[in-house]
């Protein structure tokens, strides 16, 4: 039989055609039955981690979930989406993958043109496959969208055979404009038809949904910018496999890990505007987007309320405004003006606890909040759950009185109450799922006020952070450090450690946070036979010489050089005796010298210690940096005593950071400790005396490495330690030289054998077959 269907064509991941055609379809009844059997238990997509341009819908079909764009061009219109010019399709013809990777979401400019009476342009993704079979998405409960946009748009549920089911009048829900960003929760009850098509039952539509679309509509000439950052279902397990009825079993799709609400917990909260430079509250979360101050107003409700900030403060090079504001005024300072346009004007500032995705966090253990402030008007302090609609937006709050002088008030959880006009909710249940803290000014149009928020912390702890484990007493001590690029030919700093992996130069960039920054090295330098690059580089240029290029993709672009003090395991070392560092270098741009602790994962809580190294164009400069010049890299977090930090230093880094597009040339030529010119051994407490480590290893004349099949042994060495290292610098075998070693469990290939013993220090390449 023949039926009329809508045909959609795609190219390079983009929707390019939307035509009504006549197709011969056999056994359409069977097809409908299969479509009705598809079930999706959850939906998840996060632009911050996606590199494929694909939404996790749970389908195992290889064409499911890919983003595409469409417009009214098939209706004679000229509307379009204009994407960033610096993004191109990859080698597989995929455009949205590189776009999302570069901008942590789908970023574009929308321009609605003439030629069609009802201009539109949008984005979408298919749930089951590119064939757009219907899927039961009832269990999702609705959709949560993270976005920023200067225009409002519609979230549309596309249904299988939309011509006969809805007459193309699909169910939709409105997303208001949100230039500063929004997390919009849209339960299914919010979706409505417009009334010009065929009436359809929502429950029926939800059992046959085939795509989700985000559509911009309006009059010709309308234009705006947007970025879609995340989308997920309200309920269900994100990305749970869709199971078609014909088999009942489908290999599982592993979704991004989203812990349940109960898994997120914060022990304490702390922020002090007098020491903060980033505009960020320490909430205890290790997510890079947690705790940043933001503002919001009633503009999405057609209001005109606004904040007016001090005119002498501007965004920094990273687009951060609150950091410079807080640094300049010791807190968040502004004038608030409530305007007309909305019956209940409001404006506020706030911060998310876990991340920008506003996951719920259990904050019960805080006991309440202590606020230090000054304000010419009263305001409310609110705690916001991960789904405000559960409370009818009637958040738990406490009223804060005006005070023309700086005042500190303690508000226990028992003081927080709902106003009573929303949905009544249990306070203990709400405290287990708090996503944000907000300070909100409310009143009548025309109300004006000046305020400054200076401190905020939890009642239970004034020091404020997730309490780190008690540090183990450092067993490693280094008295001094030394490296001279003119004498080194293996790319290794003499730190005094007897570990064979200590002191080697390495590089790292922002690629782990979706950045594209990089180092460009001299073209005439190549790795040696052992896979060592920095040795030949230092030998050729009497130092580490290169060019750094900072690129977009990361929130704060950076690229670093460094070396580990004790070993590649980055154990903490007491470097107090160094007194500081002396660095000889030349560089066309500024950089920083960073002290890396032995538990760098907790650096977001501690803040690392850094010192500035100014540019030194066209000449070599010697910079003396005593420990007193090293300052915490952030103004938030637990203020770890520098004396304690210096007992746990694992590595030294030279970090180049700045805005995308920054380019600089540099050469690091020498580094040593202030107190001693040459490195002596790092001492363990039980050692009475340890001999000095030579900066450059030299083999004994009669020492030999013997490889027989897969058995490794030595001649001419009676005692010492040997390590087998792969070409990536990883130690894969460690043993005493007095015994032979079985290497049968190692893969075939080239390895380096490093030996350190009495009277001998040598490196030898071996090849396993």
pLDDT band at 301 (very low <50, low <70, confident <90, very high): confident
Write down the mean pLDDT value for the chain.
80
Helix, strand, or coil (residue 17): strand
229-238, 269-278, 597-606, 717-726: range with highest mean pLDDT: 269-278
pLDDT in tens, 88-126: 988 778 899 999 989 999 999 999 999 998 999 999 999
Give me the pLDDT at residue 729, please. 52
User: Which CATH number applies to 2-233?
Assistant: 2.60.120.430
- Counts of helices then strands in the chain (DSSP H, E): 9, 43
56-65, 383-392, 651-660: range with highest mean pLDDT: 651-660
Report domain 482-673's class. mainly beta
The region of weakest confidence among 185-194, 450-459, 489-498 is: 489-498
DSSP 702: T
Taking 60 as the threshold, does the pLDDT of residue 28 lie above it?
no
Taking 90 as the threshold, does the pLDDT of residue 202 lie above it?
yes
Domain boundaries, the chain: 2-233, 261-458, 482-673, 704-768
| Range 585-609 average pLDDT | 74
The answer to whether 548 and 519 are in contact (CB under 8 A) is yes
Helix, strand, or coil (residue 393): coil
Give me the pLDDT at residue 385, please. 92
The region of weakest confidence among 123-137, 341-355, 589-603 is: 589-603
Alpha-carbon span 492 to 476, nearest angstrom = 19
Alpha-carbon span 240 to 236, nearest angstrom = 8
pLDDT band at 2 (very low <50, low <70, confident <90, very high): very low
Give me the pLDDT at residue 449, please. 95
The residue ranking higher by pLDDT, 430 or 769, is 430
Alpha-carbon span 533 to 524, nearest angstrom = 11
Give me the pLDDT at residue 762, please. 66
Taking Cα atoms as reference points, which of 763, 722, 714, 760 lies closest to residue 492? 763
Q: What distance lies between CA 325 and its chain's CA centroid?
A: 23
The answer to whether 752 and 765 are in contact (CB under 8 A) is yes
The residue ranking higher by pLDDT, 264 or 267, is 267
Alpha-carbon span 35 to 171, nearest angstrom = 19
Look up the pTM and report it. 0.36
Is the C-alpha dihedral spanning 373, 377, 381, 387 positive or negative? negative
One fold for 261-458 and 704-768: no
Taking 80 as the threshold, does the pLDDT of residue 130 lie above it?
yes
| Helix H or strand E encompassing 430 | helix 427-431
CB environment 73-97: b (16+ within 10 A), e (fewer): beeebbbbbebeeebebbeeebbbb
Task: Sheet containing 396-400: give its strands across.
Answer: 293-297, 346-352, 434-442, 379-385, 396-400
pLDDT in tens, 654-703: 999 999 999 999 999 999 998 864 434 444 333 323 233 333 333 444 56
Tokens 């896979």 belong to 531
The region of weakest confidence among 175-184, 245-254, 551-560 is: 245-254
Taking 80 as the threshold, does the pLDDT of residue 353 lie above it?
yes
CATH topology of domain 261-458: Jelly Rolls (2.60.120)
The set of residues, in sequence order, having a beta carbon less than 8 Å from that of 384 and lying 6+ positions away, is 350, 358, 395, 434, 435, 436, 437, 438
CATH architecture of 704-768: Sandwich (2.60)
CB environment 565-603: b (16+ within 10 A), e (fewer): bbbbebbbbbbbebbbbbbbbbbebebbbbbbbbbeebb
pLDDT in tens, 237-250: 444 334 343 333 33
pLDDT band at 36 (very low <50, low <70, confident <90, very high): very low
Q: What is the DSSP string of 751-763?
A: EEEEEEETTEEEE
Taking 90 as the threshold, does the pLDDT of residue 306 lie above it?
yes
End-to-end CA gap in the chain: 64
pLDDT band at 356 (very low <50, low <70, confident <90, very high): confident
pLDDT in tens, 609-619: 899 999 986 78
The answer to whether 229 and 104 are in contact (CB under 8 A) is yes
What is the Cα gyration radius of the chain? 31
DSSP 278: S
């Amino acid at each position: 039989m023949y039926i009329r269907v809508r045909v959609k064509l795609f190219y390079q991941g983009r929707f390019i055609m939307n035509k009504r055609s006549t197709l011969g379809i056999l056994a359409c009844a069977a097809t409908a039955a299969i479509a009705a059997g598809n079930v999706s238990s959850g939906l998840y997509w996060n632009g911050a981690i996606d590199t494929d341009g694909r939404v996790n819908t749970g389908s195992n079909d290889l064409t499911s979930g890919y983003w595409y764009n469409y417009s009214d061009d098939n209706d004679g219109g000229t509307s379009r989406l204009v994407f960033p010019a610096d993004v191109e399709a990859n080698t597989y013809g995929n455009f949205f993958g590189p776009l999302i990777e570069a901008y942590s979401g789908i970023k574009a400019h929308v321009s609605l043109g003439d030629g069609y009476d009802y201009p539109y342009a949008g984005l979408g993704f298919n749930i089951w496959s590119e064939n757009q079979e219907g899927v039961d998405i009832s269990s999702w409960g609705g959709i949560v969208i993270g976005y920023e946009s200067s225009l409002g748009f519609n979230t549309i549920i596309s249904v299988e055979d939309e011509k006969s089911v809805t007459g193309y009048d699909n169910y939709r829900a409105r997303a208001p404009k949100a230039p500063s960003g929004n997390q919009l929760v849209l339960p299914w009850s919010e979706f409505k038809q417009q009334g010009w098509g065929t009436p359809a039952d929502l429950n029926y539509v939800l059992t046959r949904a085939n795509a989700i679309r985000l559509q911009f509509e309006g009059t010709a000439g309308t234009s705006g910018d947007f970025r879609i950052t995340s989308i997920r279902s309200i309920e269900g397990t994100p990305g749970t496999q869709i199971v078609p009825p014909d088999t009942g079993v489908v290999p599982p799709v592993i979704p991004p890990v989203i812990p349940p609400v109960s898994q997120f917990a914060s022990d304490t909260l702390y922020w002090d505007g007098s020491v903060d430079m980033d505009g960020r509250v320490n909430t205890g979360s290790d997510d890079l987007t947690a705790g940043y101050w933001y503002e919001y107003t009633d503009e999405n409700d057609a209001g005109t309320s606004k904040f007016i900030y001090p005119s002498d403060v501007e965004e920094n090079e990273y687009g951060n405004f609150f950091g410079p504001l807080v640094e300049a005024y010791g807190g968040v300072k502004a004038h608030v003006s409530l305007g007309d346009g909305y019956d209940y004007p409001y404006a506020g500032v706030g911060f998310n606890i876990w991340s920008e995705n506003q996951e719920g966090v259990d904050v019960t253990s805080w006991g309440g909040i202590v606020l230090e402030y000054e304000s010419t008007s009263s305001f409310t302090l609110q705690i916001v759950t991960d789904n405000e609609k559960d409370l009818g937006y009637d958040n738990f709050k406490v009223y804060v009185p005006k005070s023309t002088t700086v005042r500190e008030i303690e508000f226990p959880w028992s003081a927080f109450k709902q106003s009573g006009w929303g949905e009544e909710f249990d306070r203990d249940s709400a405290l287990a799922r708090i996503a944000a803290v907000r300070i909100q000014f409310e009143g009548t149009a025309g109300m004006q006020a000046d305020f400054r928020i200076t401190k905020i912390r939890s009642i239970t702890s004034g020091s404020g952070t997730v309490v780190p484990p008690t540090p183990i007493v450092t067993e490693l001590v280094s008295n001094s450090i030394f490296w001279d690029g003119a004498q080194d030919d293996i790319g290794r700093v003499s730190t005094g450690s007897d570990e064979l992996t200590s002191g080697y130069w390495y590089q790292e960039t922002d690629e782990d946070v979706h950045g594209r920054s990089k180092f460009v090295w001299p073209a005439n330098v190549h790795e040696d036979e052992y896979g060592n690059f920095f040795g030949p580089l230092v030998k050729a240029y009497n130092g580490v010489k290169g060019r750094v290029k900072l690129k977009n993709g990361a929130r704060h672009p950076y690229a670093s050089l460094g070396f580990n003090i004790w070993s590649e395991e980055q154990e903490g070392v007491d470097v107090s005796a160094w007194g500081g560092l002396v660095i000889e270098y030349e560089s066309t741009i500024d950089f920083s010298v960073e002290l890396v602790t032995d538990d760098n994962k907790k650096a977001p809580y501690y803040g690392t210690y850094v010192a500035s190294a100014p540019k030194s164009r066209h000449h070599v400069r010697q910079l003396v940096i005593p420990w007193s010049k090293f300052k915490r890299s952030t103004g938030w977090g637990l203020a770890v005593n520098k004396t304690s930090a210096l007992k746990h230093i694992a590595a030294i880094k030279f970090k180049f950071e700045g805005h995308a597009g920054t380019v600089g040339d540099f050469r690091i030529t020498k580094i040593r400790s202030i107190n001693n010119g040459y490195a002596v051994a790092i001492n363990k407490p039980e050692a009475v005396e340890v001999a000095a480590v030579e900066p450059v290893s030299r083999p004994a004349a009669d020492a030999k490495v013997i490889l027989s099949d897969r058995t490794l042994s030595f001649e001419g060495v009676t005692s010492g330690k040997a390590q087998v290292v792969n070409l990536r610098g990883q130690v894969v075998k460690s043993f005493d030289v007095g015994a032979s070693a079985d290497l049968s469990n190692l893969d075939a290939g080239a390895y380096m054998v490093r030996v350190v013993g009495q009277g001998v220090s040598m490196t030898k390449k071996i090849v396993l077959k």
